[in-house]
């Protein structure tokens, strides 16, 4: 029997769907699960794809079933389980075999694993996979980090299973060690911001304009036909127009307002802070999810503090305001993407990855959660100006920021005056205002720091810095 082209360990929902996708695209795949019963069950359920699948009940048989050099996808819970699985695999592997972590790993773990294998003859790929269960089964966006040789060994299989946008596969090799998982982390950070901003706009329509879920759904449907066309806007409209089968009420009104998170959003914020790159909209979105989980505290605080005693949302022209909401959401989205790409640019320099920004935008155009027509414009912007300091200073996006700036201000102002929370939209506005202002206020901060810590400061006239009456070092530096 011909050997499998690739192997996969872990037949949970994601692993099973990815394995079926690989088999369906004509690639022979060996599969293994720690419980043999699950392997047998998966094989029996594979139907017409059985001929492409080699079910294995021992690690030894599994490894032997794959053509060397063996690429083995590990699709299990991130963290220690991956390290444990790697240790179990090692004794059966040979020189140039490749272990591939396709889970939501912290890129620093990926770098550690990559380095640990450097002198062993084995190698490691950290592979970001976006698109959820549906994407895994029918075509995800795939972000690969590892050696170029290991990429070439898996390129054919991964290209065949990736989502396609205008016949272009949404998969790319992005650099060594943790590059793929880092880009996936930032993808998820942008996703958090995008989802939070949509939720904030939904809140304004629901609580500010007293619109029903169905009415709001129709607004999102309309927006999805324009500049906001995207997977998240599309599913938002669908969700809002879906009835709960038990009560007949809109299903969104039956869902508890507590959002979960898996860690990648938090990691994106941590890494932005580590590199000194502002990612305020992403930070606000992560914080908003944390606040949402504090349901009991929020309800108690409402009883104690009450809602803000401010004026109700006053709108003289409802249709015009809804158009402002559309533009404000576009502006916020630009801010979130600009921040995400700025973080990736900084990481690329810090870790020597040379991340290709236009390519990253390209492979996010289909298969992944944040796919949208907007990414075509980002691809074009970075192709024309690959060394741009920030997305918002490229010609196309600077024009969009100028066009949507007024709407974002009006929406944030109206929401704040009405006591409607818009943390991510407000953070995006603050980011634009701070980034575009040539003379800021940090001179005051530097003067304060110099006074109590003798730090010194740069003068606007370029003259030598001679301390004034301060600088006595009264307090340790801040």
* Active-site residue list: 184, 191
Coil, helix or strand at residue 163: coil
Task: Output the CA–CA distances (angstroms, integers) from residue 223 to 176, 235, 325, in the order listed.
Answer: 39, 12, 10
Please tell me the number of Cα atoms within 13 Å of 94 on its side-chain side. Answer: 8
Q: Quote the CA–CA distance of 396 and 402 in Å, as a whole number.
A: 10
Q: Quote the CA–CA distance of 187 and 232 in Å, as a whole number.
A: 14
**What values do phi and psi take at 296, rounded to 5?**
-65, -45
Which of 461, 396, 405, 414 lies closest to 436 in space, CA to CA? 405
Instruction: Identify whether the C-beta of residue 100 lies closer than 8 Å to the C-beta of residue 91.
Output: no
Q: What is the DSSP letter of 314?
A: -
Q: Is the peptide bond before 69 cis (omega within 30 degrees of 0)?
A: yes
Query: Two tokens at 363?
Result: 């492979």
Q: Quote the CA–CA distance of 240 and 216 in Å, as a whole number.
A: 7
Q: Quote the CA–CA distance of 391 and 388 in Å, as a whole number.
A: 7
Percentages helix, strand, coil for the chain, rounded to the nearest 5?
55, 10, 35
Query: Two tokens at 91?
Result: 């004794």
Q: Please state at what angle helix 107-116 crosses helix 179-203, rounded to 10 degrees.
A: 170
Torsion angle in degrees (nearest 10) through CA of 271, 274, 279, 280: 120
- C-alpha of 363 from chain center: 13
Query: Two tokens at 390?
Result: 């920030």
């Amino acid at each position: 029997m011909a050997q499998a082209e690739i192997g996969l360990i872990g037949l949970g929902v994601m692993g099973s769907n990815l394995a079926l996708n690989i088999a369906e695209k004509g690639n022979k795949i060996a599969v293994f699960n720690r419980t043999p019963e699950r392997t047998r069950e998966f094989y029996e359920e594979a139907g017409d794809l059985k001929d492409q699948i080699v079910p294995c009940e021992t690690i030894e048989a599994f490894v032997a079933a794959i053509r060397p050099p063996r690429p083995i996808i590990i699709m299990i819970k991130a963290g220690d389980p991956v390290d444990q699985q790697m240790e179990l695999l090692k004794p059966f592997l040979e020189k140039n075999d490749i272990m591939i972590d396709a889970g939501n790993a912290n890129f620093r773990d990926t770098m550690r694993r990559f380095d640990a294998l450097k002198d062993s003859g084995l190698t490691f790929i950290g592979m970001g996979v976006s698109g959820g269960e549906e994407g895994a089964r029918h075509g995800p966006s795939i972000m690969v980090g590892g050696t170029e040789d290991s990429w070439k060994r898996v390129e054919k299989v991964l290209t065949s299973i990736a989502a396609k946008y205008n016949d272009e596969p949404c998969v790319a090799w992005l650099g060594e060690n943790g590059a793929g998982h880092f880009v996936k982390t930032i993808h998820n950070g942008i996703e958090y911001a995008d989802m939070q901003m949509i939720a904030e706009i939904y809140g304004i329509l629901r609580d500010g304009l007293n619109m029903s879920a169905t009415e709001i759904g129709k607004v999102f449907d309309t927006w999805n036909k324009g500049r906001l066309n995207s997977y998240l806007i599309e599913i938002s409209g669908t969700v809002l127009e879906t009835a709960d089968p038990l009560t007949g009420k809109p299903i969104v009104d039956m869902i508890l307002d507590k959002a979960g998170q898996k860690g990648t959003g938090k990691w994106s914020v941590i890494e932005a802070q580590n590199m000194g790159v502002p990612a305020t909209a992403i930070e606000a979105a992560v914080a908003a999810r944390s606040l949402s989980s504090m349901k009991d505290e929020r309800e108690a605080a409402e009883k104690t503090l009450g809602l803000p005693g401010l004026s109700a949302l006053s709108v003289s022209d409802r249709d015009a305001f809804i158009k402002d909401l559309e533009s404000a959401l576009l502006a916020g989205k630009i801010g979130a993407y600009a921040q995400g790409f700025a973080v990736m640019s900084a990481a690329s320099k810090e870790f020597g990855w040379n991340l290709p920004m236009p390519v990253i935008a390209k492979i996010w155009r289909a298969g992944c959660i944040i796919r949208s027509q907007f990414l075509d414009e980002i691809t074009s912007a970075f192709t024309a100006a690959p060394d741009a300091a920030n997305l918002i200073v490229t010609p196309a996006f600077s024009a969009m920021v100028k066009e949507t700036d007024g709407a974002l201000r009006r929406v944030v102002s109206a929401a704040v005056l009405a006591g409607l929370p818009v943390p991510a939209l407000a953070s995006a506005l603050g980011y634009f205002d701070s980034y575009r202002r040539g003379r800021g206020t940090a001179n005051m901060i530097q003067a304060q720091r110099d006074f109590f810590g003798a730090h010194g400061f740069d003068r606007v006239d370029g003259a030598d810095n001679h301390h004034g009456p301060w600088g006595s070092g009264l307090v340790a530096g801040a």
